[in-house]
Amino acid sequence: MRAAGPSPLVPSLFVCVLGLVIFSSALENLWETISSFVIGEEIIQGFVGQDFSDRDSITLILNMLYPLLVSAVFRINSHVSSEMEVKLYYCLVGVLYLFTVARFSYASRSHFSGSWKNAEVRKHLNRLNKHAIQTIESPDGDIIDCVQISHQPAFDHPFLKNHTIQMKPSYYPYLINDEKIKVSTMTKTLKDVSSSRQEVISQLWHSNGKCAKGTIPIRRTKKEDILRASSVKRYGKKKSFSSVALPSSIDPDHIDPNGHQHAIAYTKGQFYGAKATTNVWNPNIQQSNEFSLSQIWILGGSFASDLNSIEAGWQVSPDLYGDNNTRLFTYWTSDAYQATGCYNLLCSGFIQINNEIAMGGSISPISQFHGSQYDITILIWKDPGDGNWWMQFGNGKVLGYWPSTLFSYLRESASLIEWGGEVVNTASDGQHTTTQMGSGQFPQEGFSKASYFRNIEIVDDSNNLRDPKDMNTFTEQPNCYDIQTGNNGNWGNHFYYGGPGRNQNCQ
């Protein structure tokens, strides 16, 4: 009989079970399995408090596990007595062998890196795509999941675990210009009855069903969507903070190295929201890593690494969506597009309460050149009651809100509002891109040809919607994309903007 002491039975049993789990999957899925079950990303993240999912980290973990296993094998070797323990011992040696093979394969074969990426992609898909009560297939190929409101991705955010959903804002901005707008809508319906029909605008997927009350429609992320991104981590994020136009009045020496081009109107001050109506187009995109968008920017902080931004509008972005459709989008960041924030619901942040509108869903119909014009109205405001930033789409559809706790500067107020267009010019063939902004027409073309923003307003510190005091414009290359402002009764503060990109005067 051996003297009583710590029995090796328990640890070796444990290792054996581990070994069986590993064995049960095919050898080539070994690392996928280990990464998912044994050293899950979340556990690793818990240890080191940050994203820990690249190759080097895994190699590090393996290096840590390896000596542990080796020493266990040797320890048990000196204690083996019963037949049972001999079997356990061989099992352990088997596991050690597998670890050794996998350890070296992992380091030397890209095959394993591929399967690691697969595991990463699958895990990210699991995070983003929540359990659907109902699923609707859109004619454009999108799958819309109707997800219970309390199961949306926002609540994965550690800060939002205990968050109580606000089902409606406590205050709306006061409509100073309400009278004027009512009158103008009436005159407009008389005058532009055939050319402006904002009421009927909706999303393509509506033709195949709708989401029940208590759920929200979420555009399902597909594996291909993530694989088009530069990395799993960057999926759904803008590439750089050149995504905000930096007017020369703010930094005269600024040259954007990333080829982002803008045609915008902006106003500086202390703001609590912004509103505008813009007609929706389907600009051509020359190549898939470029995009064209039209949006409102609500900005706080300096143009450094601490920039806070809330954005909403329409965009065409083949890389993000896999097609050339015009889609409704939102964006937010609290650190200049680095680690925080994303498009739509592609990360935790925005809390949606509306069951009709899918973020990232295709907009339909689209304005026609010299034909019917369709426009969308976006209002974003900071609720003086709960402090959250709310978004309203169209006439009274409250989509949801960004909790103020996501932000630093925007917890207080915004310091800069921008309205307008942005495109990426990769100049891939050494020439300016032919990617269009707005309708692809210059502002001089005017109504039913050029794209516009009308009834541009800001929310002031008394929660009133009013005209911006002074609005300036900015564009990097007016020969490529330009902007022209105006002011009249029906349209209030407005501008036409856009352009074709490459042309005789823009090479």
Q: Is 126 a binder of ligand NAG (CB under 6 A)?
A: no
The window from 168-176, 212-220, 316-324, 406-414 that contacts ligand NAG (CB under 6 A) reads 316-324
CB of 157 to ligand NAG, least distance (A): 9
Residue nearer to ligand NAG on the CB measure, 180 or 228: 228
Nearest to 171 by CA among 356, 389, 367: 389
Residue nearer to ligand NAG on the CB measure, 144 or 285: 285
Annotated catalytic residue, options 422, 445, 457, 476:
422
In angstroms, the CA 63 to CA 240 distance is: 35
In angstroms, the CA 446 to CA 496 distance is: 7
Annotated catalytic residue, options 290, 311, 457, 476:
311
422 is catalytic: yes
Tokens encoding 439: 């309708």
Interface residue with ligand NAG, options 24, 162, 194, 395 (CB under 6 A): 162
CB of 47 to ligand NAG, least distance (A): 20
Helices H, strands E: what count in the chain?
A: 9, 22
Nearest to 358 by CA among 236, 207, 206, 234: 206
Interface residue with ligand NAG, options 284, 340, 479, 485 (CB under 6 A): 284
Q: Please list, in sequence order, all residues whose beta carbon lies within 8 angstroms of the beta carbon of residue 242, skipping any fewer than 6 positions away.
A: 256, 257, 258, 260
Q: Is 405 a binder of ligand NAG (CB under 6 A)?
A: no
Residue nearer to ligand NAG on the CB measure, 105 or 288: 288
Residue nearer to ligand NAG on the CB measure, 324 or 340: 324
Tokens encoding 55: 């190759």
In angstroms, the CA 379 to CA 276 distance is: 7
Q: Is 164 a binder of ligand NAG (CB under 6 A)?
A: no
Number of residues near ligand NAG (by CB under 6 A): 7
The window from 200-208, 215-223, 231-239, 318-326 that contacts ligand NAG (CB under 6 A) reads 318-326
The residue type found at 362 is S
Nearest to 424 by CA among 481, 367, 368: 481
CB of 307 to ligand NAG, least distance (A): 25
Instruction: Please state, as a whole number, how many other Cβ atoms lie within 10 Å of the Cβ of residue 162.
Output: 6
The window from 193-201, 253-261, 317-325, 343-351 that contacts ligand NAG (CB under 6 A) reads 317-325
Nearest to 108 by CA among 26, 31, 21: 31
> How would you classify the pairing of strands 472-475 and 482-488?
unpaired
Interface residue with ligand NAG, options 161, 179, 190, 489 (CB under 6 A): 161
Interface residue with ligand NAG, options 95, 149, 216, 285 (CB under 6 A): 285
CB of 41 to ligand NAG, least distance (A): 21
Interface residue with ligand NAG, options 148, 324, 355, 464 (CB under 6 A): 324
Full 3-state SS string of 217-282: EEECCCHHHHHCCCCCCCCCCCCCHHHCCCCCCCCCCCCCCCCEEEEEEEEEEEECEEEEEEECCC
CB of 9 to ligand NAG, least distance (A): 38
Q: Is 108 a binder of ligand NAG (CB under 6 A)?
A: no
In angstroms, the CA 479 to CA 481 distance is: 6
CB of 400 to ligand NAG, least distance (A): 20
Q: Is 355 a binder of ligand NAG (CB under 6 A)?
A: no
Would you tell me which residues interact with ligand NAG (CB under 6 A)? 161-162, 284-285, 318, 323-324
Provide the annotated active-site residues.
311, 422
